Structure 1
Amino acid sequence: MICLVGAGPRGLAVLERLCANHAGENELVIHVVDPFPPGSGRIWREQQSPQLLMNTVSSQVSQFTDESIDCSGPIRPGPSLHGWLQSHDSDADQGRRGPDDYPSRRLYGRYLRWVFDRVVADAPDTVRVVVHRATAVALEDADNGQCVTLDDGNRLAGMDAVVLSLGHSDTELTGKERQLAGFAERHGLRYFPPANPADLDFDKIDAGEAVGVRGLGLAFFDVLALVMEGRGGRFVPSDKGLRYRPSGREPTLYAGAHHGIPDYARGRNQKGVAGKHRPRFLTADAAHRIRENPEATFRRDVWPLLDAEVRTVYYQALVAQRGGSSAASNFLKDYLSEPDDPGTLRRHGLTASDEWSWERLGQPWRPHEFSDHATFNQWLLGHLREDIGHAEVGNVDDPVKAALDVIRDLHKEIRLAIDRSGVIGSSYRDEVIHWFTPLSTLFSAGPPPLRVEQMAALIECGLLQVVGPEPQVRTDPTGACFLIGSATIPGKQIRTTSLIEARIPKPDLKHSANPLLCFLVETGQCRPYHIPDPDGAYESGGLDVTPRPYRLIDAAGVPHSRRFAYGPPTESVFWFLNETIRPGIGSMILEDADAISRAALTC
């Protein structure tokens, strides 16, 4: 018997691979444990607002193996989300059915539920799947195998193998968050801690209420959807772009983020299903060479190669935009022979103002002076419209969007270089977690362009104001409100009676609120992952596991031969685990699932 704890896309992938790899006449019983529906799990459950969108187009989302998957198990193809939409009627989301459309999350959840039903229906006769709509709270070894205890009192005993595919979990509040939550409780205010916005009850917020929001990433756009359209407002097209027609039930939002701007919109997809940039500098061989250096750092050894990839694509696309494909081909030959020579750019008609600048993209407000929040928002509207314009051109033809999409395309190569202590601990902490990951999210993991258009419409109608970069939140000494402002934009701090932390909590094993992870920590059956460093190892918040097939390692450093874990709880062992399964590019999730399932079947 095998127990899968967590039945979102990763757990579903292991289930499918168990069924595909099971051979012989012996009965295999697979227990699937999740309080949410199997397949969709918590994040993609069907019972959520239709306003919440994915940030990946439907043709680039799948749950099935294909010939690009490097695995030992059999390949069992199936339809992508877009392919499934073409053959399955759905009353909802009728306008989001194209291959390059961004479907709702609940529609993706419906697809995942269908995949689960298909996997179970197509399973060999010797496989039986038992679903438990409950939460696992304990896991222990016993004489007859492992025992999983559920919060409904059931005990699943005699498990030969247990796979933890827990996905994102809630975490305990930090010191500052606890202070803000306590302040809100004492004074009758509302504080919404870091969480998936779909899990929060925004109905408590009054119409017309002033609400502070920290964060301008994907969670922020979810908040916008839930408290604006979700309360009956409508976006309508006009000759000047989208306009918002309020229902009268909306609050007024005052938002800010460290960079002062929202995540950049995804460019219109011109790469089809599996198109991606092929690296010239940050290749697999280069990544392996980086790993051979025990003192490698991200900024010194990885970043220059990624930077070279981005600049090359940007300049090539810019030359192509102005002079055509032949001019771009000639430029590329010259540039690759002397990439550091500014003269190459000048010979091909590129000026100093054309040169790539991370600083200009990351802090585009820097050259400007703002007298107050209103002037900053006027500038921001121009910035948003410029970003929308770039996105409409596409992720191949537009130089900026083509360049930024390189970061997304090279996730695999970045992982090859830095996963499992590829760089020293202090570099991973300071340069990957605190610098590069937020930067890559800002540039390449942003929302559909529609969301940026909607943001601009809400600023114009007065229901949204961005306070500026480096937001500061204080509590009013009288207890009447929160105060939110910007460290860089002049003006009075704004008084709000609700505060929303618009971000998903980062995985942190020692501060996890997941009851099973808490139990494993308390009983010494798992430990945080440590990354070696000359000045002392860095203790990350990730769950320590062996190399693939990811056996769980206990507090004494001993791997459990029949217990496996993968996905978000192992963040820092592996980098950036928030992706969906994309067809045609050798999805790491599916390759991992195949290795885990084959190892579990031998237990």
Structure 2
Amino acid sequence: MIWNTQHINPQQDLYSYYQEREQKKLQPHGDNTIAIVGGGPKGLYGLNHFVNRVRIDRATKSYKVLWFNNDELFGCGPNYSIHQPDYLLINYCIGHLNAFHDKYSQKEDQQNFMEWLSKVKCIDTDVQPTDFASRALVGYYLQWVTKETMRQLPANVQLQLIAEPVVAIAEQNSKARIETNTGSWDVASILLATGHCYNNTPLINESEVPAVSYIRSPYPVSKYDDIASDSKVGITGMGLTFIDIALALTEGRGGTFDNGEYCPSGKEPLIYSFSRTSLPILCRGPQYQEKRPLHLLNASKFKLWMQQPTKIDFEKDVLPIIEQEIQLRYYAVQFNENGLEPLQSLINAIPLQHRFTLHKLLKPNLTSEEEILRYIEENIEEAQRGEQNSPLMAAASVWSEICPSIAELYSSVGFTGNSQQQLDQYYFGAFNRVSYGPPIANMEKILALARAGIIRFVPLKKPTIRWQEVGSVFVVCDENGKATSFNTLIDARIGRPSLHQHNAALYDTLLSQGLICPHQNEAYFPGTLSMDKRGKCNTLARVPIYCYGANTEGVFFDNDSLSRTKNDTSCYWVDDTIRTL
């Protein structure tokens, strides 16, 4: 079952609720004013932490919390906007969704996503942990959690929502001054939960290209409404975002899917998909079943690594064991054998050239559109079999199981600079491609669109893009001279922190003012600002300024998650803020 906003009773949006509720007349002293910059899920989690800590500590001081966001989408942010179409789905089953923290279970009316959905749904279908949901529906849940947090504000906490982008932060005596285009506020503590505020490096010289032809950021998908139906659209990137764009240009224009086939509306453009690797993302079924044991990368192994006095070389020390574990998991399913020694004996009997390897998982050789389509078809079949019956899906699931432990190593013991760079720039994306894919239903839609001739997969080695004024088209070609042209170019990559590329306006301003500096691991600069292992900015000592979420990548690992506990630096911000004030 895929749940969407049509399956629930009408819900009031958060900003309307905020504007209607009676604001407390409390006017705290300016020294006790704090700020959260970023209104998405991470900003919500920080707010919820603070409110509950004040309630638990029974503080007598009065606090004012200023919560800034670029727009009115507080609680859900743009990724889980309640205004986006329902065909945009989350890529994990709903049994894992809970925006509350267990430590506050006695202090608030906590409901995980399934419990909330069971109360607000307007159809008789039972809610199952293996179901999926639209991102807009998850957005309504996140806004409900925000409303619950606001409803239970202690008497000594005042909350003000400011729907304006923060453009600058400056030091002001013992405080920090937050500036928007219309005002400024002095605060004693800041949580930066700015989310996906980063731009990608331009694919082409923008000054040459009409703005309507080159779409640098993929969201919101409403920006594709002006693309003509007779256009040829090139999408660089073949991951989750590519799927969203493809569905916006087809299902979003009135096309329908029926029994594995696509029924066009006649408004669809022709879509060309290409990427640096030409490898589609793997779909997956619900990740909610009992896993087979991990033989090598178990808790004791990670405990030993955590006790190391020096940094770990990811490629030399960790990656070979990941490869062994993936191979063991693959053949555990194929031979229906969980014992380590019997498994190793069975594997050793297979000639080397015929063994399943990490290379075969991460880098299959796809040189034609036909091979790409066959790869997608086989992946759908394997995902339908599930991890318990599909060796491929079982092997792919290893990364998602060990990723929390890898993240702990990453941020505590640390990896050497060179190996962290390889993990950040290659292995992270390669493993995510096979382990964190879309629901099966979405990849079935992509296959149907390809069979209908609306999506064309273009395998290119080391593609380069140029703008050709004659004909007003983009031309993408590979090192062998193979070329394709199209009218519109959409960048489906998601930007990551990159201070040296000046790809986020607020952080670029802070860098130019000398208020932050780049994080460095040996000779490697990941792209984020320098912070300690709790997320506190190293260069602004007088005011507690903490980072939480995507802006910590490079210091912390794999933050693009709704998890309430993974890499939770907001709890340290709350501790420091209450202690300081």
Q: 1:226-275 CA deviation, whole Å, 9 max, x = no partner? A: 101011111111xxxx100111111001111233231111233342xxx5
1:213-362 matches, cutoff 5 A: 213-237=235-259, 242-271=260-289, 279-283=294-298, 286-287=301-302, 289-290=304-305, 292=308, 294=310, 296-320=312-336, 328-329=337-338, 331-335=339-343, 339=344, 343-345=345-347, 355-362=355-362
Amino acid at match of 1:434: Q
What secondary structure is seen at the aligned counterpart in 1 of 2:528?
Answer: strand
Amino acid at match of 1:597: V
1:190 to 193, 205, 213: 213
Larger RCO of the pair (alpha carbons < 8 Å, separation 6+):
1
Q: Distance in 2 between matches of 1:471 and 1:219?
A: 20
Q: 1:330-355 CA deviation, whole Å, 9 max, x = no partner? A: x43434xxx4xxx43367xx777873
What secondary structure is seen at the aligned counterpart in 2 of 1:216?
Answer: coil
1:5 counterpart residue number: 37
Q: Distance in 1 between matches of 2:193 and 2:48?
A: 14
The answer to whether residue 155 in structure 2 is matched with residue 164 in structure 1 is no
The answer to whether residue 203 in structure 2 is matched with residue 177 in structure 1 is yes
2:454 counterpart residue number: 463
The answer to whether residue 528 in structure 2 is matched with residue 542 in structure 1 is yes
The alpha-carbon deviation at position 469 of structure 1 amounts to: 4.2
Amino acid at match of 1:281: L
1:55-66 matches, cutoff 5 A: 55-66=91-102
**Worse-matched range after superposition: 251-260 or 350-359:** 350-359
What secondary structure is seen at the aligned counterpart in 1 of 2:573?
Answer: helix
Amino acid at match of 1:45: S
The alpha-carbon deviation at position 286 of structure 1 amounts to: 3.7
Task: Tell whether the 8 Å contact from 2:40 to 2:75 is kept in structure 1 after alignment.
Answer: yes
Task: Tell whether the 8 Å contact from 1:221 to 1:451 is kept in structure 2 after alignment.
Answer: yes
Gap runs ≥5 in structure 2: 1-32
The answer to whether residue 515 in structure 2 is matched with residue 525 in structure 1 is yes
Task: Tell whether the 8 Å contact from 1:283 to 1:413 is kept in structure 2 after alignment.
Answer: no
What secondary structure is seen at the aligned counterpart in 2 of 1:267?
Answer: coil
Amino acid at match of 2:245: V
The answer to whether residue 431 in structure 2 is matched with residue 440 in structure 1 is yes
The alpha-carbon deviation at position 407 of structure 1 amounts to: 0.3
Amino acid at match of 2:77: G
Q: Distance in 2 between matches of 1:268 and 1:588?
A: 21
Q: Distance in 2 between matches of 1:228 and 1:208?
A: 13
The alpha-carbon deviation at position 597 of structure 1 amounts to: 1.5
Q: Distance in 2 between matches of 1:514 and 1:362?
A: 31
Change (3 A) 1:276 1:419: farther
Amino acid at match of 1:360: K
2:365 counterpart residue number: 365
1:510-521 matches, cutoff 5 A: 510-521=500-511
Q: Distance in 2 between matches of 1:90 and 1:506?
A: 39
The alpha-carbon deviation at position 381 of structure 1 amounts to: 2.4
Task: Tell whether the 8 Å contact from 1:509 to 1:541 is kept in structure 2 after alignment.
Answer: yes
1:30-179 matches, cutoff 5 A: 30-36=65-71, 37-66=73-102, 78-89=110-121, 98-143=128-173, 145-151=175-181, 153-157=182-186, 159-171=187-199, 174=201, 177-179=203-205
2:30 counterpart residue number: none
TM-score between both structures, scaled by the size of structure 1: 0.83
Change (3 A) 1:218 1:149: same
What secondary structure is seen at the aligned counterpart in 2 of 1:468?
Answer: coil
1:565 to 547, 559, 570: 547
Amino acid at match of 1:84: W
Q: 1:6-61 CA deviation, whole Å, 9 max, x = no partner? A: 12111111111111111222222211111232211222121222221111211111
Amino acid at match of 1:184: V
The alpha-carbon deviation at position 161 of structure 1 amounts to: 1.2
Task: Tell whether the 8 Å contact from 2:174 to 2:542 is kept in structure 1 after alignment.
Answer: no
The alpha-carbon deviation at position 5 of structure 1 amounts to: 0.8
The alpha-carbon deviation at position 303 of structure 1 amounts to: 0.6
Task: Tell whether the 8 Å contact from 2:190 to 2:546 is kept in structure 1 after alignment.
Answer: yes
Q: Distance in 2 between matches of 1:559 and 1:127?
A: 25
What secondary structure is seen at the aligned counterpart in 2 of 1:553?
Answer: coil
What secondary structure is seen at the aligned counterpart in 1 of 2:527?
Answer: strand
Task: Tell whether the 8 Å contact from 1:545 to 1:559 is kept in structure 2 after alignment.
Answer: no
Q: Distance in 1 between matches of 2:542 and 2:503?
A: 23
Q: Distance in 2 between matches of 1:77 and 1:356?
A: 49
The answer to whether residue 219 in structure 2 is matched with residue 204 in structure 1 is no
The answer to whether residue 490 in structure 2 is matched with residue 500 in structure 1 is yes
Q: Distance in 2 between matches of 1:201 and 1:14?
A: 31
Could you say what the CA RMSD is over the residues aligned between the two structures, in angstroms? Answer: 2.8
The answer to whether residue 420 in structure 2 is matched with residue 428 in structure 1 is yes
Change (3 A) 1:483 1:421: farther
Q: Distance in 1 between matches of 2:515 and 2:542?
A: 9
**Worse-matched range after superposition: 137-146 or 107-116:** 137-146
The alpha-carbon deviation at position 280 of structure 1 amounts to: 3.9
Task: Tell whether the 8 Å contact from 1:256 to 1:486 is kept in structure 2 after alignment.
Answer: no
2:562 counterpart residue number: 580
Q: Distance in 1 between matches of 2:506 and 2:93?
A: 34
Task: Tell whether the 8 Å contact from 1:407 to 1:440 is kept in structure 2 after alignment.
Answer: yes
Q: 1:46-105 CA deviation, whole Å, 9 max, x = no partner? A: 1222221111211111111126xxx9x9776722222211111369xx999542222111
Task: Tell whether the 8 Å contact from 1:207 to 1:248 is kept in structure 2 after alignment.
Answer: yes
Change (3 A) 1:34 1:112: same
2:574 counterpart residue number: 597
Q: 1:257-308 CA deviation, whole Å, 9 max, x = no partner? A: 233231111233342xxx5676443345544654636463211011122222
Task: Tell whether the 8 Å contact from 1:527 to 1:544 is kept in structure 2 after alignment.
Answer: yes
Task: Tell whether the 8 Å contact from 2:175 to 2:543 is kept in structure 1 after alignment.
Answer: no
Amino acid at match of 2:427: F
Task: Tell whether the 8 Å contact from 1:167 to 1:569 is kept in structure 2 after alignment.
Answer: yes
1:368-447 matches, cutoff 5 A: 376-419=368-411, 422-429=414-421, 431-447=422-438
What secondary structure is seen at the aligned counterpart in 2 of 1:177?
Answer: coil
What secondary structure is seen at the aligned counterpart in 2 of 1:213?
Answer: strand
Q: Give aligned-pair identity as a percent.
A: 23
**Worse-matched range after superposition: 286-295 or 400-409:** 286-295
